[in-house]
Chain A
């Protein structure tokens, strides 16, 4: 059974750093296209980043230069390193899988809440 479990969220001060994890089971992270998508409180979905099976990475303009997506193949886990956090980064962060090179996100985690506030 495919499962994605995020962790690492919490309350962080503006300018701080946080690393989110997404532990996968039932499939191989490195063979898929893995994305992070966030949702600010009461707002819609916003795509954040993707890592391709080949290792290429891409970011939304709103996080480029501050966030880094990566994976650990030995742990079958996806990460999102978030630096220089801002109040507007406050959101539930979801990891999601796409088995093919297209935005067909067929499995999602339950999400982890990141709150940036002093």
Chain B
């Protein structure tokens, strides 16, 4: 059982906007930044969002993050077939220990 809770699956059609939630507690999301990673099938995770809502260079602005209290969300707008992947949230929990969400499998219908 993961410390951060994510829905196991999400889906959308091309062009749609989808959101993936990540729920934690005061010791992790409530007091620290949230990070998001994308894992395409059969590949290593890729850095997607840092410090709640910042995008690393090269990440399309279709991807956005937000945080409120002990929860965070990843939004993907203009959904594309290549967005089909597993998405993980992460945060410090009583730093320096890192906790991940269980992952959300996004299907593009």
The interface of chain A, by Cβ under 8 A from chain B, is 35, 37, 44-47, 50, 52, 58, 60, 94, 96, 101-111
Contact = CB atoms under 8 A, between A and B. Distances in A.
A45 B100 contact: yes
B92 to A, nearest CB: 6
B35 A44 contact: no
B50 A44 contact: no
Contacts of B46: 108
Given A44-B88, A94-B44, A102 B100 contact: no
A52 B98 CA distance: 14
30 contacts: A37-B45, A37-B100, A44-B2, A44-B86, A44-B88, A44-B100, A45-B37, A45-B45, A45-B90, A45-B100, A45-B103, A46-B100, A47-B90, A47-B97, A47-B99, A47-B100, A50-B96, A50-B98, A58-B96, A60-B97, A94-B45, A102-B51, A103-B35, A103-B91, A103-B92, A103-B98, A106-B47, A108-B44, A108-B47, A109-B44
Given A102-B92, A105-B37, A35 B47 contact: no
A52 B95 CA distance: 13
Contact of A47 (B51, B56, B98): B98
B44 A111 contact: yes
Q: Which 5 A-B pairs have the closest CB atoms?
A: A47-B98, A44-B103, A108-B44, A104-B50, A45-B100
